[in-house]
């Protein structure tokens, strides 16, 4: 069973609210359960990687077969700012994920980026991210109304002759859910864009050659729990790539 590392985000709670007596008294590091449940259904074991000292985070990740970069708050605006923070050893979610992604690439570990994770991968490769409204004149709605039980918000067109197209069994377009206000501006070096919404936003990317590394702007972990075939295909292909990293047992015969 492959072991997949997921960096955590920090959750702060309003201690002045009416529910304060039932909330943790300190911030909590974690991920939404949908990520864990969706990967568990694909027979993957999960290791949560909290925001911690760089060397400790990397030591923990060395035990993992793959890296999933999950969604969450906006990523740092520029690679320059992020690089300075890394050099100064400023421990934030951005800097830890930057280091974990670097380690995954060095160790040839498969990587799956989801929403914020896709933007961080682009940033890592020298690309940039900007608010949707600054790039597109009349963007589609890119926020799914989760609390109103909305399942999908728009469709994306899949580029031909790419890994994502192969994973999804060559569809022309796929319905997706998403929740983002920023998008890829300049594509990073060594990356190709593999899916687009009708308003021109980049919705997926992958690396050119090398180890398995794909990223999507939508959230396949949620519809996967409802047996969405496209969402399941993405997660299963990632888990399969991670499984291939596991040391193979050798059977000796006399």
Looking up residue 199, the CATH number of its domain turns out to be: 3.40.50.880
**Please, what sign has the CA dihedral across residues 248, 169, 7, 91?**
positive
What confidence score (pLDDT) does residue 138 get? 74
Handedness of CA 113, 116, 122, 124 (dihedral sign): negative
Number of domains composing the chain? 1
- pLDDT for 115 equals 96
Q: Give the per-residue pLDDT at 254.
A: 56
Q: Which two tokens stand for residue 171?
A: 């569809």
Instruction: Flag whether 249 is in a domain.
Output: no
Q: How confident is the model at residue 22, as a pLDDT?
A: 64
Q: Does residue 250 lie within any of the structural domains?
A: no
Answer yes or no: is 109 within a domain: yes
Domain span at 42? 3-243
Question: Is 166 a domain residue?
Answer: yes
Task: Report yes or no on 253 lying in a domain.
Answer: no
pLDDT means over runs of 10, the chain (254 residues):
94 68 76 95 96 93 96 83 80 92 96 97 94 85 88 94 94 93 94 95 93 96 92 97 77 54
């Amino acid at each position: 069973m492959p072991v997949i590392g997921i960096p955590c985000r920090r959750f702060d709670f309003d201690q002045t609210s009416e529910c304060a007596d039932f909330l943790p008294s300190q911030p909590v590091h974690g991920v939404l359960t949908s990520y864990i449940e969706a990967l568990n259904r694909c027979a993957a074991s999960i290791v949560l990687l909290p925001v911690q000292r760089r060397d400790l985070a990397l030591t923990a990740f060395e035990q993992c077969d793959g890296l999933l970069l999950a969604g969450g708050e906006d990523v740092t605006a520029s690679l320059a700012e992020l690089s300075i923070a890394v050099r100064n050893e400023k421990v934030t979610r951005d800097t830890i994920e930057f280091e974990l992604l670097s380690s995954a690439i060095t160790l040839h570990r498969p990587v799956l980026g989801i929403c914020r994770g896709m933007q961080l991968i682009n940033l890592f490769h020298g690309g940039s991210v900007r608010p949707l409204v600054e790039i597109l004149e009349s963007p589609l709605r890119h926020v799914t109304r989760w609390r109103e039980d909305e399942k999908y918000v728009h469709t994306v067109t899949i580029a031909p002759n790419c890994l994502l197209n192969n994973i999804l069994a060559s569809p022309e377009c796929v319905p997706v859910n998403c929740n983002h206000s920023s998008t890829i501006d300049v594509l990073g070096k060594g990356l190709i864009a593999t899916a687009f919404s009708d308003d021109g936003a980049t919705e997926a990317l992958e690396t050119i050659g090398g180890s398995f590394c794909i990223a999507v702007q939508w959230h396949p972990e949620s519809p996967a729990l409802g047996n969405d075939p496209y969402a399941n295909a993405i997660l299963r292909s990632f888990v399969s790539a991670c499984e291939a990293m596991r040391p193979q047992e050798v059977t000796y015969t006399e």
